[in-house]
């Protein structure tokens, strides 16, 4: 049943042109498709049948070169329509009827309220019409949409609008032509009552582009930030990569019912409202950041994804890893590069390292899948971006740009592979990237073991570097990776020492990149005048786990002085993690929960250092997630993890009470809300200080949160205050007033659900069941499911893992209910079982039972089946 990379064969036919007509009605949609096809000379069998993909379609008619075919001329099954006797050149006309009005999967053409939207990546187009639904079939599309003019006044599709007019029964039509050939997954259609924010942009070469953001009328006042993000993205891609937009119109549509973040359909990107709509009072700084990044991401796909696309879905990281890397570099240039980098590393470690250590571990280019939608993962996206970043680290920024230029020169208009990208990087720089290919084929997080030795007499510093990678499902043995190791040697005064390897004539200042390629390797630095502290893996130069036996004073030294912000933050995190582990062990064995003095002193210095970027201070004071701590244990005891982590928060709050109060006051801002790096940084420190202070059960401090909640002029501050209040009885009144104020704002209500799903208060399962009955909740809406159910099962470690198994029972029941409506969303919930083998025995048994119950359920989707079956393997 699994699809294998090694089985790839070119398609038997290619499609030159496709003309689509959609007749939209309330209770059905008729799709007429006219395909111009020709036999693919690259296919091994010159007489192969034409097999078109199709699912859940009602076939009305098939015409081959004008002749109506009776059912003896083709074969029809649940997944395909096949025609055996095909001429080498043909015109096929296919009429199908579909039902967007009952399509709850949000895959293919569907309704959200009265409007129509589409989502075709990866394989949604086959739910619209019979087609060669694979990315290596690229065709020129035209789309005519016919619909009632009152109900669906706005009719959008890819490319340029070439005509429109009226028909009978008050119906109108609009025709769109996309001049670029594209795979079917980039097709899009939108129809409905939508309002427009319009703007324009002139490219460097002088193309005038109309920018359009289409939203529900009530949301028109929340589009300004998205529009400014579009313009910044266009400008950045021209400056950094010389890439310009290529159509006359760039459209973005926002929809509240959407499975993922957004989709890069050619000229007509469709977004989850979460990544478009923002107003100071409805969206947080994190939301503003997310919108800027996702707008950039989808815009950047126009070149990395659309102009050059993927040969097959195993190559998904070709476009996603590269495009995430591009959006990360963009965000770094828009705000604080250091903060962006640390955020990206935190995401990778918390989610991707976990995936790499669990039953779903896969390389960034997977070798097989049962359901491709399950491989839109943090591994393909975020680890994929780290792999792209490593090219830049090894080749330099200019070398990377040369590689990008060659990639577009060779492959514009083609569907290619990850190997083609690697070849462009290698050839443009005359650099051997042969061994680098292993990053694409081997799963698992490598461990880089480093040991250092200073010889004072010889003035040398020797680094012994060895690498290993744990076994993952289907891959017992791993070969060494090509790892860029960026490092510096920090002297006793905190400054970087010059770096000179044995055999080199001169030293270089600051950092340098070592190429680690062997299982073990030694590097000799000479002319090292004083004993240094090595600063390793600067800027997180490779997605690996570093093993170096730092002493506590060495960590304190790096935290205070390292010129690399990532390593500085990392030193603090390492100290914090050591002490958290001590607290977790103590909680498990009933010992004392005390913080260590050197750690508290280091954090005190961080908090008092007014020369540091407040955003970095906030990050240094941020504890790792409970789930990340869970992944560091040999056997997970969720209660001990919660107890240890809470003890760290309370201990820091008590010890640094006056420093937190001072920081809070220093960061207070009386002006109007501005989304701007300095203001964002100040709010992040202010709100983390508030979070610590609210740990202290003191009435004056609770009032601080209550006052901020009542007086905030922006959602960042309001939500931060509410997050402090929800863990205490004071929170109930605040939650109630929040809900009545924001009842009509779906995205704000998502925050309200999220906060309650992450509550530390007991009895969360009962609370969540009650919230599922709230009028603002809907099991059919992915944002609601993710906010309430997803937050609980993925982020509320101690709540979900209640010792009686009630969290697992609830998760199983809910995911089965969601699976009937929307398999993609259900499969994400099923991922909450991925840690089961590492749980302590009582919970492990409960979770296994829940998994087996799900696995035995009749009518399970392919999506959920793949996750639970791999868990039980």
Whether 846 contacts 811, CB under 8 Å: no
Burial (CB count within 10 angstroms: exposed 0-12, middle 13-18, buried 19+), residue 403: buried
CA 33 from centre of chain: 34
Q: How far is the CB of 302 from Zn ion (least distance, A)?
A: 11
- The residue (of 223 and 296) whose beta carbon lies closer to Zn ion is 296
Nearer to Zn ion, 237 or 320 (CB): 320
CA 273 to each of CA 222, 254, 270, 356: distance values in angstroms, whole numbers, following the listed order: 10, 5, 9, 30
Residue whose CB is less far from Zn ion, 306 or 323:
323
Q: In this complex, which beta carbon is closest to Zn ion, that of residue 323 or of residue 379?
A: 323
Q: Which is nearer to Zn ion, 254 or 768 (CB)?
A: 254
Q: Restricting to residues 826-855, which ones interact with Zn ion according to CB under 5 A?
A: none
Q: Name residues whose C-beta falls within 8 Å of residue 310's C-beta, 6 or more positions apart in sequence.
A: 135, 316, 318, 319, 415, 416, 417
CA distance 629 to 797: 10
**Measured between alpha carbons, how far is 113 from 26 in angstroms, rounded to an integer?**
11
Beta carbon nearer to Zn ion, 320 or 706: 320
- 592 annotated active-site: no
Region of 50 please: left (phi>0), alpha (psi -120 to 50) or beta.
beta
Output the smallest distance, CB 116 to Zn ion, in A.
23
Q: Where are the beta strands (DSSP E) in 726-858?
A: none
- Specify the stretch interacting with Zn ion by CB under 5 A; choose among 18-26, 126-134, 314-322, 757-765: 314-322
Q: Report which DSSP code applies to 20.
A: E
| CA nearest neighbour of 383 among 359, 362, 358, 360 | 362
**Minimum CB–partner distance for residue 232 and Zn ion (Å):** 18
In Å, how far from its chain's centre is CA 838? 25
User: Hey, which residues between 469 and 508 contact Zn ion (CB under 5 A)?
Assistant: none
Q: Please, what is the minimum distance in Å from the beta carbon of residue 143 to Zn ion?
A: 23
Q: How near is the Cβ of 297 to Zn ion at its closest, in Å?
A: 5
Site residues (CB under 5 A) for Zn ion, limited to 209-248 = none
Contact 309, 408 (CB under 8 A): no
Paired sense of beta strands 50-53 and 29-39, if any? unpaired
Please give the full DSSP string across 190-249, using - where no structure is assigned. EEE--EEEEEEEE-TT--EEEEEEEE-GGGGGG-HHHHHHHHHHHHHHHHHH-----SSE
**What element of type H or E holds 489?**
strand 483-490
**Starting at the edge strand that comes first in sequence, how are the strands of the sheet with 195-202 ordered?**
195-202, 208-215, 249-255, 268-272, 262-263
Query: Which segment (180-188, 215-223, 316-324, 443-451) binds Zn ion by CB under 5 A?
Result: 316-324
Contacts (Cβ under 8 Å, ≥6 apart) of 357: 444, 445, 470, 631
Identity of the residue, 323 or 373, whose beta carbon is nearer to Zn ion in the bound complex = 323
Task: HSE, CB side, 13 Å, CA atoms: give it for residue 789.
Answer: 32
Residues 814-835, buried b or exposed e (16+ Cβ, 10 A)? bbbebbebbbbbbbbbbbbbbb
Between 241 and 673, whose beta carbon lies closer to Zn ion?
Answer: 241
Query: Minimal CA–CA distance to 158: which of 181, 137, 138?
Result: 181
Least separation in angstroms between residue 245's CB and Zn ion is: 17
Mark residues 317-356: x for contact with Zn ion by CB under 5 A, - for none: ---x--x---------------------------------
* Min dist. Cβ of residue 326 to Zn ion (A): 10
Stretch that binds Zn ion, among 39-47, 116-124, 315-323, 367-375 (CB under 5 A): 315-323
Beta bridge pairs of residue 249: 210
Give 260 or 693: the residue with its C-beta nearer to Zn ion: 260
Residue with tokens 């009509």: 744
Q: Which residue lies nearer to Zn ion by CB, 381 or 439?
A: 381
Distance CA 724, CA 715 (A): 14
Residue 637 beta carbon to Zn ion: minimum distance, rounded to whole angstroms = 37
Looking at 99-194, which runs of residues are DSSP E strands?
108-112, 115-119, 139-148, 154-157, 160-166, 171-182, 189-192
Using the minimum distance from each CB to Zn ion, give the nearer residue, 415 or 789. 415
Contact stretch for Zn ion (CB under 5 A) within 313-321, 494-502, 761-769, 790-798: 313-321
797 vs 807: CA distance, rounded Å:
10
Instruction: Kindly tell me which of 323 and 377 has the beta carbon lying closer to Zn ion.
Output: 323
Instruction: Enumerate residues 626-685 that contact Zn ion by CB under 5 A.
Output: none
Number of residues that bind Zn ion (CB under 5 A): 2
Q: Which residues pair with 63 in a beta bridge?
A: 68, 93
Stretch in the footprint of Zn ion (CB under 5 A) among 312-320, 621-629, 634-642, 805-813: 312-320
Residues 606-625 that bind Zn ion (CB under 5 A): none
Compute the least distance from the CB of residue 320 to Zn ion, in Å: 5
Cα separation, 226 vs 295, whole angstroms: 7
The position carrying tokens 């970043």 is 389
Looking only at residues 365 through 424 of this chain, which bind Zn ion when binding is defined by CB under 5 A? none
Rounded least distance, CB 331 to Zn ion, Å: 14
- Angle at 855 (CA atoms; ends 854, 858), nearest 5 degrees: 85
Residue 511 to residues 538, 567, 610, 720, Cα–Cα distance (Å) = 8, 12, 26, 38
Cα 195 to Cα 202: distance, rounded to the nearest angstrom = 23
Closer CB to Zn ion, 123 or 320, in the complex: 320
Residue 857: Cβ within 10 Å count = 15
Q: Is 859 helix (H, G, I), strand (E, B) or coil?
A: coil
C-alpha span between 781 and 409 (Å, rounded):
42
- Smallest CA-to-CA distance from 415 within 42, 156, 39 is with 42
Site string for Zn ion, 271-310 (x = CB under 5 A): ----------------------------------------
| Least distance to Zn ion, CB of residue 296, Å | 11
Measure the CA–CA gap between 111 and 115, rounded to whole angstroms.
6
Asked if 373 and 7 touch (Cβ cutoff 8 Å), the reply is no
From the list 121, 212, 216, 298, the catalytic residue is 298
**Residue 50 vs residues 16, 65, 130, 650: alpha-carbon distances, Å:** 15, 14, 11, 67
Q: Which residues bind to Zn ion, rule: CB under 5 A? A: 320, 323
Catalytic residue annotation: 298
């Amino acid at each position: 049943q699994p699809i294998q990379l090694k089985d790839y064969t070119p398609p038997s036919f290619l499609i030159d042109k496709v003309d689509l007509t959609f007749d939209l009605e309330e209770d059905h949609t008729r799709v007429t498709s006219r395909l111009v096809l020709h036999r693919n000379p690259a296919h091994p069998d010159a007489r192969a049948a034409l097999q078109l993909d199709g699912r859940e379609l009602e076939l009305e008619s098939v015409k081959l070169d004008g002749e109506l075919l009776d059912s003896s001329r083709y074969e029809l099954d649940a997944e395909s329509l096949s025609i055996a006797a095909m001429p080498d050149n043909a015109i096929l006309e296919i009429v199908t009827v579909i039902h967007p009005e009952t399509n709850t999967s949000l895959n293919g053409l569907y309704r959200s309220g009265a409007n129509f939207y589409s989502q075709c990546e990866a394989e949604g187009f086959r739910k619209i019409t019979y087609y060669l639904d694979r990315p290596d079939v690229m065709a020129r599309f035209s789309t005519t949409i016919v619909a009632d003019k009152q109900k669906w006044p706005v009719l959008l599709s890819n490319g340029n609008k070439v005509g429109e007019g009226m028909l009978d029964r008050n119906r109108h039509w609009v025709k769109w032509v996309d001049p670029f050939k594209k795979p079917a997954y980039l097709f899009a259609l939108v129809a409905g009552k939508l309002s427009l924010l319009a703007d324009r942009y002139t490219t460097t070469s002088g193309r005038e582009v109309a920018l359009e953001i289409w939203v529900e009328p009530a949301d028109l006042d929340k589009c300004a930030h998205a529009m400014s993000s579009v313009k910044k993205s266009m400008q950045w891609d021209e400056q950094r990569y010389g890439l310009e937009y290529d159509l006359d119109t760039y459209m973005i549509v926002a929809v509240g019912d959407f499975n993922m973040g957004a989709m890069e359909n050619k000229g007509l990107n469709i977004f989850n409202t979460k990544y478009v709509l923002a107003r100071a009072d409805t969206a947080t700084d994190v939301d503003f950041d997310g919108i800027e990044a996702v707008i950039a991401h989808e815009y950047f796909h126009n070149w990395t994804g659309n102009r050059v696309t993927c040969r097959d879905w195993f190559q998904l990281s070709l476009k996603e890893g590269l495009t995430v890397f591009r959006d990360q570099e963009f965000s770094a240039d828009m705000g604080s590069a250091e903060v962006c980098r640390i955020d990206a590393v935190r995401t990778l470690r918390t989610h991707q390292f976990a995936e790499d250590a669990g039953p779903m571990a896969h390389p960034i280019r997977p070798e097989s899948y049962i359901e491709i939608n399950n491989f839109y993962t943090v591994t393909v996206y975020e680890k994929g971006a780290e792999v792209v970043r490593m090219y830049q680290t090894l080749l330099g920024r200019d070398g990377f740009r040369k590689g990008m230029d060659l990639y577009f020169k060779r492959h514009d208009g083609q569907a290619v592979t990850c190997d083609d990208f690697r070849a462009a990087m290698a050839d443009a720089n005359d650099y051997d990237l042969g061994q680098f290919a292993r990053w694409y084929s081997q799963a698992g997080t490598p461990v880089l073991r480093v040991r250092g030795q200073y010889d004072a007499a010889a003035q040398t510093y020797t680094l012994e570097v060895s690498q290993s990678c744990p076994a993952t499902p289907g891959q017992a043995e791993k070969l060494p990776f090509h790892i860029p190791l960026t490092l510096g040697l920090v002297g006793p005064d905190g400054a970087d020492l010059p770096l000179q390897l044995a055999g080199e004539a001169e030293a270089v200042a600051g950092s340098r990149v070592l190429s680690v390629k062997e299982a073990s390797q030694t590097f000799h630095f000479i002319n090292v005048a004083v004993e240094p502290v090595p600063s390793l893996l600067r800027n997180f130069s490779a997605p690996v786990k570093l093993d170096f036996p730092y002493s506590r004073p060495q960590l304190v030294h790096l935290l205070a002085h390292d010129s690399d912000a990532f390593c500085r933050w990392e030193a603090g995190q390492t100290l914090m993690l050591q002490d958290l582990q001590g607290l977790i062990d103590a909680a498990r064995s009933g010992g004392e929960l005390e913080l260590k003095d050197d750690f508290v002193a280091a954090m005190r210095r961080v908090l008092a250092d007014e020369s540091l970027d407040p955003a970095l201070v906030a990050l240094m004071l941020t504890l790792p997630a409970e789930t990340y701590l869970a992944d560091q244990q040999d056997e997970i005891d969720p209660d001990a993890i919660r107890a240890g982590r809470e003890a760290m928060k309370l201990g820091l709050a008590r010890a640094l009470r006056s420093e937190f109060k001072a920081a809070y006051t220093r960061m207070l801002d009386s002006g109007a809300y501005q989304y701007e790096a300095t203001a964002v940084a100040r709010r992040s420190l202010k709100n983390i200080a508030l979070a610590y202070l609210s740990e202290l059960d003191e009435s004056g401090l609770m009032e601080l949160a209550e006052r901020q909640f009542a007086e905030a002029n922006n959602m960042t501050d309001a939500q931060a205050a509410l997050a402090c209040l929800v863990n205490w009885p004071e929170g109930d009144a605040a939650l109630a007033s929040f809900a009545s104020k924001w009842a009509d704002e779906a995205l704000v209500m998502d925050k309200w659900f999220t906060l309650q799903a992450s509550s530390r208060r007991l009895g969360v399962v009962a609370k969540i069941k009650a919230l599922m009955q709230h009028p603002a909740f809907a099991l059919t809406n992915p944002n609601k499911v993710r906010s309430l159910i997803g937050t609980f099962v993925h982020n509320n470690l101690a709540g979900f893992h209640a010792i009686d198994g009630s969290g697992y029972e609830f998760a199983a029941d809910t995911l089965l209910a969601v699976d009937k409506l929307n398999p993609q969303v259900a499969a994400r919930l099923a991922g909450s079982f991925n840690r089961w083998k590492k749980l302590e025995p009582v919970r492990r048994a409960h979770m296994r039972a829940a998994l087996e119950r799900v696995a035995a359920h009749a009518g399970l989707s392919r999506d959920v089946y793949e996750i639970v079956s791999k868990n039980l393997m």
